[in-house]
Amino acid sequence: MPPISDQVGTDQLKVQLSRLPIKTRAELAHFLIESLDGEPDNDWEATWEVELDRRMAEIENGTVVGIPADEVFTALRAKHS
């Protein structure tokens, strides 16, 4: 938790920002959410390739048993209807 003086500043900032037009607030919200993600993973393709290879190996060696898509979707429809 930030020190009280920081919290007061944050509260004042929230009040000021809430008075901005909705489009501006949306842009700020988008910016803030993106800022939480950290640095982009420029090597995402290699990361996913490793993950996909691991998952495929689990299926091939029997560690994991797949579920047919129609069963998954039937269960999801039943759960959310």
Express each pLDDT in 10-48 by its tens digit.
899 999 999 999 999 999 999 999 889 877 778 889 999
Q: What is the pLDDT of residue 39?
A: 79
Indicate if the pLDDT at residue 49 is higher than 90.
yes
Confidence of residue 57 (pLDDT cuts 50, 70, 90): very high
Q: What is the pLDDT of residue 29?
A: 95
Parse the chain into domains and list their residue ranges: 4-36, 44-79
**What is the rounded distance in angstroms from the CA atom of residue 70 to the CA atom of residue 59?**
18
58 within 8 A of 64, measured Cβ to Cβ: yes
